[in-house]
Amino acid sequence: MKKGVIFSGMRPTGRLHVGHLSVLENWLKLSDEYECNFGIVDWHALTSNFDNTEGLNKNITLMCLDWLSVGLDPNKSPIFIQSHVKEHVELHMILSMLTPLSWLERVPTYKDQIQQLGSQGKDVSTYGFLGYPVLMAADILVYRADTVPVGEDQLPHIEFCREIARRFNYLYQTDVLPEPQAKLAKVSLLPGVDGRKMSKSYNNDIPLDATREEIMAKVQMMVTDPARIKKSDPGNPDVCIVHTYQSIYNPQEVEEIRSSCRGGTIGCVACKKKLADVLDKELAPIRERREQYANNPSVIKEVLADGADKARAKAQRTMELVRSAMKI
């Protein structure tokens, strides 16, 4: 007996890195307990990148490959491209009719993003961008999902989704659309190797497909305690990126490393070597699975086509209920 229905999605913005692992591992765990649906939300990518679609298709394929490599099982939970299930649009359009403009204007991420993207020279004062939360609500509600695993940054969007579901149910005196709950995962916020936010565009990330050599090279770049010159100098693990990683990926050894660092008995080179070893161990099974799929590219196409068929069947059932509640 499943605990409920989940929808979650990611924008196909590029290759994934170890910073995404905790989210994906959470999805893996949830796919045993819930009926899960995982969407690569390409229309969401258009909301801010409508003028730069180059690379979108490649990013979709890469994202699917990354998901399969971490072990998501498409036979258990459909993996699909949002734009292959047109019912998302139909529900989005219907919900847009009953969405008060003021609700959208007061979504906190909206003004933030307009400002942030504006300062990068990007004008997103568009209809589509304002409607982003409606599209996201449609993604969730079209599967009648009751649970949505998301990061904290997405909470206002889930709250918006609940309000829209409530409004729909009230207007049409129905209970077709459940009000979904956000499921916050314990996500470890992993900094990039230079201490900034981890991002492919800063080249401070460790990609999920990194080889042992690439892992070693990235670990070499990690910033350690700048006051520590010689190995015998006492180090301060609290200002060291290598240490942040050790505490997440090497919990068995971290305490010992910590005191050896403070005591000046383990040097940064040895400490980095230990970290590279554990990271390599973590990524090895992901690399292996990836190879199977990469050697067989038609599998990705089949997974996505089959996922869209399964997702569409569920979404069509919801839309029948929605239209019948609305008498349209």
Stretch that binds ligand TRP, among 8-16, 22-30, 248-256, 304-312 (CB under 6 A): 8-16
Judged by CB under 6 A, the residue of 36, 60, 85, 148 near ligand TRP is: 148
Judged by CB under 6 A, the residue of 16, 41, 177, 300 near ligand TRP is: 41
Q: Min. distance of Cβ 84 from ligand TRP in angstroms?
A: 15
Stretch that binds ligand TRP, among 6-14, 22-30, 166-174, 305-313 (CB under 6 A): 6-14
Q: Min. distance of Cβ 161 from ligand TRP in angstroms?
A: 8
Q: Cα separation of 106 and 97, whole Å?
A: 18
Three-state SS across 18-37?
Answer: HHHHHHHHHHHHHHHHCEEE
**Residue 154 makes contact with ligand TRP by CB under 6 A:** yes
Helices (H) and strands (E) in the chain — how many of each?
Answer: 14, 5
Interacting positions 100-139 with ligand TRP (CB under 6 A)? 136, 139
Sheet strands (E) in 201-276: none
**Residue 9 makes contact with ligand TRP by CB under 6 A:** yes
**Residue 88 makes contact with ligand TRP by CB under 6 A:** no
126 with 113: CB under 8 angstroms? no
Per rule CB under 6 A, count of chain residues that contact ligand TRP: 12
66 with 15: CB under 8 angstroms? yes
Q: Cα separation of 20 and 33, whole Å?
A: 21
Question: Which one, 17 or 218, has the nearer CB to ligand TRP?
Answer: 17
66 with 16: CB under 8 angstroms? yes
Question: Which one, 79 or 148, has the nearer CB to ligand TRP?
Answer: 148
Q: Min. distance of Cβ 68 from ligand TRP in angstroms?
A: 19
Question: Which one, 12 or 192, has the nearer CB to ligand TRP?
Answer: 12
- Residue 187 to residues 115, 150, 191, Cα–Cα distance (Å): 26, 10, 12
Which one-letter DSSP state was computed for residue 237? G
- The amino acid present at 112, given as its one-letter code, is D
Which one-letter DSSP state was computed for residue 83? G
227 with 255: CB under 8 angstroms? no
**Residue 177 makes contact with ligand TRP by CB under 6 A:** no
Question: Which one, 276 or 311, has the nearer CB to ligand TRP?
Answer: 311
Residues that bind ligand TRP (CB under 6 A): 7-9, 11, 41, 44, 136, 139-140, 148, 150, 154
